[in-house]
Amino acid sequence: MLTPADIELIRRIRGTTVALGALLCAFARRGKALFRDEPARADALLSAIRPHPLYRAGKIQFDLLELDELMIDGTPLPLGLDERELIRAMTRVLERIEQTLEETGGGAPAQSKTETRSKSSLSRELSPEPAPPGGWPVLDASDYLYDLVVLGLLRELSRMRLTG
């Protein structure tokens, strides 16, 4: 028999799963838009990142966890997140990536990490990106979702660095 605490925990886990699906879909849609609108840039980004061990490790984890099923199966996503919440979640992910790049020598911060994170969060919160003409692309089961998520991450990280 489940206790009230068990039921609450399961509810929170399900909510987190839905939010993760929404977040992955948001990045993948942005990656697909990049591929549609700037195919040469998308190809160049993927060519540059594919040899990196983190790309390969991420691919293994993505496939192992079957995250593509989370993104395509079930009810349409995003579900449960409004645009502002989605921007905040994307910003947190991007800030962690940026922080990791800085800490491992992959970035050249002009300011302290705290200033950079605060400034980029503020600029993202104040100016969410409007959908491109025709809206964000729909994700299909035939799409290679891992590459689209990676492209979306790279696109948004680049955008954050430019606006932050």
pLDDT digits (tens, 9 = 90+) for 5-37: 999 999 999 988 888 888 898 899 999 999 999
Let me know: does 120 contact 162? Beta carbons within 8 Å: no
**Does the global pTM surpass 0.85?**
no
For position 108, what pLDDT does the model report?
55
How confident is the model at residue 125, as a pLDDT? 44
Q: Which two tokens stand for residue 2?
A: 């489940």
Separation between Cα atoms, residue 95 and residue 129, nearest integer Å = 17
Q: What is the pLDDT of residue 97?
A: 80
pLDDT of residue 148: 97
* Mean pLDDT score across all residues of the chain: 80
Given this model, what pLDDT does residue 157 score?
Answer: 83
Confidence of residue 132 (pLDDT cuts 50, 70, 90): confident
Instruction: Please state, in angstroms and rounded to a whole number, the distance separating the CA atoms of residues 79 and 95.
Output: 23
Query: What one-character-per-residue DSSP string does 87-121 give?
Result: HHHHHHHHHHHHHHHHHTT----SS-HHHHHHHHH
For residue 37, the tally of other CB atoms under 10 A from its CB is 12
Of all residues in the chain, the percent with pLDDT exceeding 70 is: 77
Compute the average pLDDT of residues 113-120: 48
Q: What three-state secondary structure class fits 134?
A: coil
C-alpha angle 58-85-24 in degrees, rounded to nearest 5: 25
For the chain, the structural domain boundaries read 4-163
pLDDT score for 81 = 60
Percent of the chain with pLDDT over 90: 37
pLDDT tens-digit readout, 28-86 = 999 999 999 999 999 999 999 999 998 999 999 999 999 988 887 555 544 456 677 77
